[in-house]
């Protein structure tokens, strides 16, 4: 009671209204509205979980009130004044607080949802990063093979046309030569594709090519039914 009386001594009409507004966040109506909003607009599983936790907590709260049987402060001390706007909802026993229980259920479940979402985002991001790293390693191997083929073609060629013809003949089946551009794709089993392209320098020049495209894409078929947490469509072009 000492702490409550200290709060009573600094009460003002303004802060009474603020406290009354905050108290609404602990009403059963609030957690039911939040739960239904989750069910209809976001995620049914989390919405039902919130409703279940809120309703279970409300029942448990009433059982604990019946166990502790602690009256309201103004019943214990008639000199303690209540905010009259709160009197209608302040029925029964006082401990444990129903508003505190409801607010804890709602905010706790929302915090858990946020944590799970952050965890899923981190895991998915790490998985995409791992796949991109694997595709990058594969692309570097292909670049090394291409550079070796270019070196051999440059050593045997007599002219620019002869050089390009030898390069085209030496390319593996995954690579194509259009003009002076060699392009190919690295693909993994998850449907992600790393598009690569290099521009060949003139015959006899070194370095023998300049990388022009380095683009990570996701096959639309692989995306079906998959809740991507970030846009991995474009990683970069060099």
pLDDT tens for each residue of 133-177: 999 999 999 999 999 999 999 999 999 999 999 999 999 989 999
What stretches of 88-193 show up as alpha helix (H) in DSSP? 98-156, 160-170
pTM exceeds 0.85 for this model: no
Whether 167 contacts 200, CB under 8 Å: yes
Domain map (residue ranges) of the chain: 2-96, 130-223
Task: Output phi, psi for 210, to 5 deg.
Answer: -125, 130
| pLDDT confidence tier of residue 66, bands split at 50, 70 and 90 | confident
- Identify any residues that bridge with 13 across adjacent strands, giving them in sequence order: none
Phi, psi of 123, rounded to the nearest 5 degrees: -65, -45
Confidence of residue 57 (pLDDT cuts 50, 70, 90): confident
Helix or strand run (H / E) with residue 194: strand 192-200
Q: List % helix, strand, coil for the chain (3-state, nearest 5).
A: 60, 10, 25
Phi-psi region of 204 (alpha: psi -120 to 50; beta: other; left: phi over 0): left
Q: Do residues 209 and 150 lie in contact, with contact meaning Cβ atoms separated by under 8 Å?
A: yes
Residue 220 and residue 228: Cα distance in Å, rounded?
12
Burial of 188 (0-12, 13-18, 19+ CB in 10 A): middle
Number of Cβ within a 10 Å radius of residue 103? 19
Contact 28, 102 (CB under 8 A): yes
SS3 10: coil
With a cut of 50, say whether residue 58 has pLDDT above it. yes
Query: What is the chain's mean pLDDT, rounded?
Result: 81
Interval 71-121: pLDDT, tens:
877 667 776 676 666 666 667 777 888 778 888 888 888 888 889 989 999
| 180-184, 189-193, 202-206, 208-212: least confidently modelled range | 189-193
């Amino acid at each position: 009671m000492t702490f409550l009386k200290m709060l009573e001594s600094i009460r003002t009409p303004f802060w009474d209204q603020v406290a009354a507004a905050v108290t609404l966040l602990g009403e059963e109506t609030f957690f039911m509205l939040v739960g239904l909003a989750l069910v209809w607009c976001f995620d049914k599983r989390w919405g039902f979980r919130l409703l279940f936790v809120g309703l279970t907590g409300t029942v448990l709260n009433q059982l604990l009130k019946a166990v502790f049987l602690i009256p309201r402060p103004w019943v214990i001390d008639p000199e303690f004044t209540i905010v009259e706007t709160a009197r209608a909802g302040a029925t029964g026993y006082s401990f444990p607080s129903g508003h505190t229980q409801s607010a804890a259920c709602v905010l706790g479940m929302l915090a858990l949802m946020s944590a799970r979402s952050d965890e899923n985002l981190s895991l998915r991001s790490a998985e995409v990063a791992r796949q991109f790293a694997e595709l990058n390693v594969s692309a570097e191997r292909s670049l090394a093979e291409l550079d070796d083929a270019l070196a051999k073609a440059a050593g045997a060629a007599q002219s620019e046309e002869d050089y390009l013809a030898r390069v085209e003949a030496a390319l593996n089946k995954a690579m194509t030569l259009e003009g002076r551009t060699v392009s190919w794709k690295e693909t993994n089993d998850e449907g992600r594709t790393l598009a690569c392209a290099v521009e060949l320098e003139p015959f006899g020049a070194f370095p023998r090519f300049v990388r022009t495209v380095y683009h990570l894409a996701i096959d639309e078929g692989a995306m079906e039914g998959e809740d991507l947490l970030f846009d991995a469509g474009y990683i970069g072009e060099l």
